[in-house]
Structure 1
Amino acid sequence: MTAPRLQIEHACAHFDGREVVCGVDLTVRAGEILCLLGPSGCGKSTTLRMIAGIDRPSRGRILADGEVLSDGDIHLPPEARGVGLIFQDFALFPHLSVAQNIAFGLRGSGVDVKKRVDELLERVDLGGYGDKPPHMLSGGEQQRVALARALAPRPRIMLMDEPFSGLDNRLRDGIRDETLALLKEEGTAVVLVTHEPEEAMRMADQIALMRDGGVVQTGAPYNIYTSPCDKDAAAFFSDINVITGEVHGALIDTAFGQFLAPGVPDGGEVEIVFRPQHVKIDFDRKGKGPNPTPQDGVPARGVVERARFMGHESLVEFRMDFDGSMLKATVPNVFLPKPGTALWLTIRRDRCFVFPNRN
């Protein structure tokens, strides 16, 4: 089996005596897109800079195709790594033409360089734009020039730091999809930094969720969304509801019946986490609870506090009779019950996560 295109082993980084990244382990194969996802300050960009060779890891190793790029003894400079970089501001040279920007850093005969530039201009749909200065291009066109320039030397790894955040929303999806399709076609391993969960879900083959300088969970988008490692991981991808309860005999009592908490000792607290879209509202039976299914569990009554239409769904907030807590539910299309309306609710038990309360 061939070595991964990019492998990071226990990488750490210290600045001014402070550890900002610690114990990062990641693997990216040729043609695969890995998203580093997390809040600002969690270590995403520092990890990218270590891969690029801009920052040197204080511990650990970074390898490309089995070749050591950084370890305790070796630290190849950025230009020797076969790594391309695309940043949010594109960083095009304003005094050079589009073609000169793409050719910057290419070596070889003038004929070979021109052939590579013309090939890339066609591939990013900018044929005939070579003589134009960057300032005459739209934001989407400048992004394509930055992509072509990064692809010109045929890098084995492409690093992208919030590359689409500066684009207009109308352009972003199309430019993003075209860019990543081209990188996959080239067989380039891509590491992309973002703090937008929806963007990561749309783009990534694998997501590495980062927090406080480390990777807390890695997996395919579906798996990381449906099997979060903790409450904070679930909350990063969407709104959540949280029910806190105390364990007695491996069970927790809630408004929706009892939940199992295996392995948690008596007296320990757990958090039951579920998303608003997994709350089911009984629209027809307002005077008594609905007939529950094993999947939905026990019904509980809540009183509407507020309802808002969000464009493609409605968000309804309830105050629960059981303990006065607040609970959110989302409903497709328009559903705006008046405040004070009492409705019965159930939750999808197969979509609930039970975590020990670490607070």
Structure 2
Amino acid sequence: MQPRVTAILAAPGGAASLDRTLEGLSRQTRPPEALVVVDTGGPDSPAGRLSLSGAAQLISAPAGTGLGAAVAHALRAIGPAAVGTEDDEWLWILGEDNAPEDAALEELMATVEVAPSVAIAGPKLMRWEDPGVIAEFGETMTRFGASVALIAGELDQAQHDVQADVLGVAAGGMLVRRSVWQSLGGFDPGLPHIDASLDFSTRARLAGHRVVLVPSARVLSKGHPEDFGRSEGGHARRSRLRRAAQLHRRLVYAPAAALPFHWLSLVPLAILRSIWHLLAKNPGAAIGEFRTAFSVAFGRSHVSAARVNLARSKKLRWRVVRPLRATWAQLRERRVNERDARLAGVEDTAEPKASFIGAGGLWITLLAAVVGIVAFFPF
């Protein structure tokens, strides 16, 4: 039986991005059998004024709905899968700023059709304005649970074009078997902004499924996942959301015996990390540390429900994902690459650099000297 693909496009707003993404969908060499556009941008959203036809369907969701919740809205709208076809149905998840290249879906399907054990496949995300640079290609986590992009910000020279099993893939452009999505309960509601796809992929791994990257499938990506539905987000907000996601996953993944110790360490760790941020001249992240720690420790939490969901679907031990975690050598290499990229950006910038002469320092010094001579000449 021909596998059926339903593309789910969450559109919180942004007409320019949405038009480019819809154009990419219309040019697929292997088009999806159905397209569901979930309008999450409110009454004035550009998506709400779309005129869709054919296999496309437009539904509305409350303003501010996240990507995972938008997928859940779409699945309720299209109804349950036909009996006996659950394993032959796939969901292709896209945000409004994920414009697929022409053969993206064809390459993804070609991979999963020859590997029945694969439940999740991720494309190579490329920068929106610079398609020659990799925005993100694969996700993993450190020993302490911090999320890390496997590849990010590198010029694409096919140096990473090797199909490989990974711990996680990005949400934008993710192809997932519908039966697996439903059996795992979709994205964790406790991760509405970031790390939802990494957590979902990790749970799929622990349930016995494979997660792979498909380098020949390329999808343009614009912005950060934590800015979904927002025009932009600051560094302090991103740091706070990433830390909150890390703490949430730490409480979900921890053994029951270690859970009280993790909970008791939230505030003391926030104090230590705040001091480190101040020493590292990053004061904006210090306030977020306390806000995040108290929110996770005493605020409304989805940890209990997430732990129950994980225990229900988990079939393998955590040691199966250990080889897929980031090593210290990879983290060191990543920091070196990021530092070199920052230095190259400063050296290649077209803006004039501040200098003593060019910035006016010499003229101010001469003017001050003249004023001083005139004012103090009688002495």
TM over 0.5: no
Which structure has more helix as a fraction of its residues? 2
Q: Which has the larger radius of gyration?
A: 1
Q: TM-score normalized by structure 1? A: 0.29
Which structure has more strand as a fraction of its residues? 1
